[in-house]
Structure 1
Amino acid sequence: MSTHESADTVISNKKAALAGLYDDIHTSNMFPFWATSEGVDHDEIKQLMATSKAVPFVWKYGEIEPLLQRAAQLITMDDSERRSLILINPGLAPKRASVSTMYTAYRLNDPDEIMPPHKHSPSAIRFGLTGTGNFTGVEGEDVVFGPGDMVLTPNDAWHNHGTVGGEQAVNLSVLDLPLVETLNAIHFDHNYTEMEDGKEVEKKVQSARYPSDYSQSIYGEGGLRPRFVDHKRGGGLSSPMWVYRWEKMEAALDAHKDWDGDPHEGIVIDYVDPTTGGPVFRTISFYAQMLRPGEKTLPQRETASLLLAPFRGKGHSIIDGERFDWGQFDTLAVPGGSWVEHVNDSPNEPVIFFGATDAPTQKALYLYKRWGRNQAGDLLRLA
């Protein structure tokens, strides 16, 4: 055997041995993390990075609303106590996630449907789209809400949903369920009880314990905090202000419409916990973002994932070089790490996004970063 043949044999034997090693490792439910100079079929670094990832995507309300109507005809409250459409990111399917840490769901309730109470460890909000009779009862505060109003249903707070007033209503939900699921901390409870005459009695409707305007009367004026109430409602796990009314947010946006704003975001106003000034939940938070007529934001990139629902107006976004057109009540997924810029296509009307972000989780773990580019294209570190 020649020296050349001997070397080829050694290489061939090594390749065969490596292939056998990899097969045995994978069969044993393990993963090899090393790099070799051999041209084997296994690229360990690439495989390690090749986990399922969310992709930029737009769900169209024009496609969602007819499906909601069909579901309302076919699925009654006798069939199920829940009737929502969850938005599944194509890059994460079949996982119930619109981005890696959050999902959005749309819910249509027929006139005067009230679902029984439940609670769960994921934190959630409801944001009104159509109808003035959306209903959510949260820990004894009965909230009726309309377009643009945001209602919290916090971690471990009893709540129920429905409509009042004799008309259909549509709202969208945002939950941190994919994050909580990843942390193996999911729990649901549907056994709602109240004490009556010293006995625990199952109930299908929560009894009101607060006035229906409690959130606004106690927390509705910024900078003012009453001292005579308990601010730890629902266990103190979130903002104690259950409902944020649209007229307050709209007035704040209108008051700042002529400000310069942020060239990478336009005018952004956060929903906050009035007792701390921090995010409404520890895991995710929410904001309204306004683009003035014809406004185009400069490119930015952040580690946080975003879900954006255009509440007013229409336009398009460029995400990692690809154009995504959107209109009223659509939902746009912007995965963390994506370069994004938004464009208001109208020369006369503003765009207003309702936005959700997992930035609070990343900031708590010291993982959050944000970059942008200026007009010249230079890279900037923004956060």
Structure 2
Amino acid sequence: MSVAESTKNSMSNKKAALADLYSDIARGNMFPFWATSDSVDNDEIKQLMATSKAIPFVWKYTDIEPMLQRAAQLVTMDDSERRSLILVNPGLAPKRASVSTMYTAYRLNDPDEIMPPHKHSPSAIRFGLTGQGNFTGVEGEDVTFGPGDMVLTPNDAWHNHGTVGGEQAVNLSVLDLPLVEMLHAVHFDHKYTEIENGKEVEKKVQTARYPTDYSQRIYGEGGLMPRFVNHKRGGGLSSPMYVYRWERMEAVLDAHKDWDGDPHEGIVVDYIDPTTGGPVFHTINFYVQMLRPGEKTLPQRETASLLLAPFRGKGHSIIDGKRYDWDQFDTLAVPGGCWVEHVNGSSTEPVIFFGATDAPTQRALLLYKRWGRNQAGDLLRLA
């Protein structure tokens, strides 16, 4: 046998042996982490990275709102305690996730619907879109909220949802449920009780324990915080300020509309825990981003995933070279690692995004990074 034939047989035998090895590994519910070549079959780096990933995507409110109205006709509160549409990223389906760590849902309540209290380990917010009578009761603080107001329903805090005032209302929810689910830490509790006359009594409505303006009265003045209250209500697992009013946020945006801002983001204002200056939750945080008339941001890329809802205005974003158009109340998914630019096409009106980010989790794990490009296209390390 020639040397060439011997080499060929040896390679053939090795290939067959590797195939047998890979079959045995798969049957044993294991994964091989070595690379014997750059071929599709054996490049384990590529295979390891080839997991389901979120993709950039826009959900249109013009599609969502009619479905919510149809659901209101067909699904009553006798049928279910919830009437929400969860946005599922096509790259992650069927997992209930809009990006890998968060999901957005739209909720419609008919006039004067109040659901029973519940609590859960995922942290959530509600952001008002339509109607003045959105309602959330959180740990004994009854909050009625309108467009632009953000209400926290923290990890393990009793809360209930609905409407007051005799009109329909729609709000947008953002939860870290996909992250908590991945950590196998999800729990829900629907048995709400209070102590009455020394006995535990199951109740359908929380008894108010705080004034309806408690969050604003105690925490609504920046730089000032009363010392005479307990700031650990709800277990101290989040910001104790449970409602952030739009009028305060709008005043801050208006006061800075002529500032230079950040060339990669425009004007961004974070919601914070007033007792720490940090994010409202340990896992995810929220912000408002304003693009002035005609403003276009420079490209930036970050490891954090984002969910953006245009609260006012319309325009488009360029994500990894592809254009995505969005309008008021839509939701835009920007998965971590994507290059993104935002464009306000109006010469007269601002664009205002309500944004959610999983950056707090990444920062806690020392994984967060952010890059940008300048006008010349040079790569910049921003964070």
Question: TM-score normalised by the shorter chain: which range applies?
Answer: over 0.9
Q: Aligned-pair distance for 1:39?
A: 5.1
Q: Secondary structure at the match of 1:35?
A: coil
Give the residue type in structure 2 aligned to 1:234: G
- Aligned residue runs from structure 1 range 105-116, under 5 A: 105-116=105-116
> Aligned residue for 1:52?
52
| CA deviations over 1:202-256 (Å, ceiling 9, x no partner) | 0011000001010011111111100111100100000000000000000100000
Q: Distance in 2 between matches of 1:170 and 1:157?
A: 22
Task: Tell me the matched-pair count.
Answer: 383
Q: What TM-score results when the alignment is normalised by the length of structure 2?
A: 0.99
Q: Is the 8 A contact 1:88 1:95 kept in 2?
A: yes
Give the residue type in structure 2 aligned to 1:346: S
| CA deviations over 1:251-310 (Å, ceiling 9, x no partner) | 100000000000000000000001111100000000000000000000000000000000
1:67 aligns with 2:73: no
1:186 aligns with 2:186: yes
Q: Aligned-pair distance for 1:37?
A: 3.5
> Aligned residue for 1:354?
354
The ranges of structure 1 where at least 4 consecutive aligned residues each deviate by more than 3 angstroms after the TM superposition are 37-40
Give the residue type in structure 2 aligned to 1:188: F
Q: Is the 8 A contact 1:15 1:40 kept in 2?
A: no
Q: What TM-score results when the alignment is normalised by the length of structure 1?
A: 0.99
Q: CA 1:40 to 1:112, structure 2 compared with 1: closer, same or farther past 3 Å?
A: closer
Q: Aligned-pair distance for 1:38?
A: 8.0
Q: Secondary structure at the match of 2:325?
A: strand
> Aligned residue for 1:26?
26
- Aligned residue runs from structure 1 range 259-278, under 5 A: 259-278=259-278
Q: Distance in 1 between matches of 2:300 and 2:267?
A: 15
Q: Distance in 2 between matches of 1:287 and 1:11?
A: 58
Q: Aligned-pair distance for 1:150?
A: 0.1
Q: Is the 8 A contact 2:106 2:170 kept in 1?
A: yes
1:342 aligns with 2:342: yes
Q: Is the 8 A contact 2:37 2:43 kept in 1?
A: no
> Aligned residue for 2:365?
365
Q: Is the 8 A contact 2:36 2:42 kept in 1?
A: no
Give the residue type in structure 2 aligned to 1:233: R
Q: Secondary structure at the match of 2:23?
A: helix
Q: Distance in 2 between matches of 1:41 and 1:379?
A: 34
> Aligned residue for 1:4?
4
Q: Secondary structure at the match of 1:221?
A: coil
Q: Secondary structure at the match of 2:318?
A: strand
Q: Distance in 2 between matches of 1:236 and 1:203?
A: 24
Q: Secondary structure at the match of 2:58?
A: strand
Q: Distance in 2 between matches of 1:13 and 1:201?
A: 73
> Aligned residue for 1:123?
123
> Aligned residue for 1:245?
245
Q: Is the 8 A contact 2:35 2:42 kept in 1?
A: no
Q: Is the 8 A contact 1:138 1:159 kept in 2?
A: yes
> Aligned residue for 1:305?
305
Q: Structure 1 stretch 329-338 or stretch 7-16: which is displaced more?
A: 7-16
Q: Is the 8 A contact 1:148 1:246 kept in 2?
A: yes
| CA deviations over 1:118-171 (Å, ceiling 9, x no partner) | 000000000000000000000000000000000000000000000001100000
Q: Secondary structure at the match of 1:82?
A: coil
Q: Is the 8 A contact 1:266 1:289 kept in 2?
A: yes
| CA deviations over 1:323-355 (Å, ceiling 9, x no partner) | 000000000000001000000010000000000
Q: Secondary structure at the match of 2:304?
A: coil
Runs (5+) with no aligned partner, structure 2:
none
| CA deviations over 1:23-58 (Å, ceiling 9, x no partner) | 110111000000113857232111000011110000
Q: Distance in 1 between matches of 2:128 and 2:166?
A: 16
> Aligned residue for 1:294?
294
Q: Distance in 1 between matches of 2:295 and 2:8?
A: 64
- Aligned residue runs from structure 1 range 157-236, under 5 A: 157-236=157-236
Give the residue type in structure 1 aligned to 2:289: Q
> Aligned residue for 1:148?
148
Q: Distance in 2 between matches of 1:270 and 1:197?
A: 44
- Aligned residue runs from structure 1 range 326-337, under 5 A: 326-337=326-337
Q: Is the 8 A contact 1:273 1:280 kept in 2?
A: yes
Q: Aligned-pair distance for 1:3?
A: 2.6
> Aligned residue for 2:323?
323
> Aligned residue for 1:254?
254
Q: Distance in 2 between matches of 1:376 and 1:351?
A: 26
Q: Distance in 2 between matches of 1:140 and 1:48?
A: 47
Give the residue type in structure 1 aligned to 2:171: N
| CA deviations over 1:63-101 (Å, ceiling 9, x no partner) | 000000011111111111111100000110011100010
RMSD: 0.9
> Aligned residue for 1:86?
86
Q: Is the 8 A contact 2:301 2:338 kept in 1?
A: yes
